[in-house]
Amino acid sequence: MNRKLFISSMLLIAKRDFYVHFSSFSNNLWLFMFFITGAVFWAVTLGRLVLVPNYFEFLIVGLMVLGVYNTAFNYMNIVSTEVRRGYVKYLLALPVSRGGLTIGRVLAGASEGIVYVAILFGFAVAMVGFPTLVGALIIIGTIIIISFCLSSLGLAIATHFSPGVIDPMSDALGVLLIFFSTLYYPISLMPQPMRLLASGNLLSAGANLMRAGFGLQQASLVDVVVLLLWGLVFGFLSIRGYYRQLKELS
């Protein structure tokens, strides 16, 4: 494999998709306003139902993870649309490496989630306060890993299932991921069967570690293991699925 071609292909597709996503100011402004209004709405409604000290701070971090989900995971819509419209064949006609194109896809989705949540991080700091140096490293590391996990998960779904199945499957999976997580309420308030699902949920692991970074709770090694394991599984499935798809279309 030509290493130079591999790297240039990877950077080419990652830069292109990254630019396309953030070139729409109105779309990104809408996502940011969705985050702000969501924080206020859920804090007012759930804050009276969930007996958690400093619930607004708890919720802000959970919505940051939700922001990563809304960008990195939904990156699969771009990939599935390009396959459906035949645009991938145009990409294959370019002097690019299939391997670089595949890795670039995963990195593009992850980078979109990372940059988007970095904007939300500023709002969270204003509401919660600055984390310590160790806490900031925990938050940054968690954002990188969970962005990679969700981007890989979305890409795996887009490349392993038919177009007619992708949308309902992603919607159903999204509901399960969000409902059985600690984004809106702590695991201590959940019934026992729900706790088991939430403890292995990558959204819960990401939210728990980021709250630990802000000093809102203790960090758990279990959450680190959950994120790393899902990252390996989804990373493998996404790379394998997209590379196989490129071979079938070429």
- Range ranked top by mean pLDDT from 79-88, 121-130, 217-226: 217-226
Lowest average pLDDT, out of 68-82, 115-129, 160-174, goes to 68-82
Give residue 228's pLDDT. Answer: 95
State yes or no: pLDDT of 15 exceeds 80.
no
Mean pLDDT over 23-40 rounds to: 60
Distance, CA of 22 to CA of 112 (rounded, Å): 8
Give residue 224's pLDDT. Answer: 95
pTM above 0.85, yes or no: no
State yes or no: pLDDT of 167 exceeds 90.
no
Residue 101 near residue 10 (C-beta atoms within 8 A): yes
Give residue 14's pLDDT. Answer: 76
Give residue 202's pLDDT. Answer: 94
State yes or no: pLDDT of 42 exceeds 70.
no
State yes or no: pLDDT of 63 exceeds 70.
yes
Percent of the chain past pLDDT 70, that is, above it, reads 80
State yes or no: pLDDT of 1 exceeds 60.
no
Give residue 27's pLDDT. Answer: 61
List the chain domain ranges.
Answer: 3-249
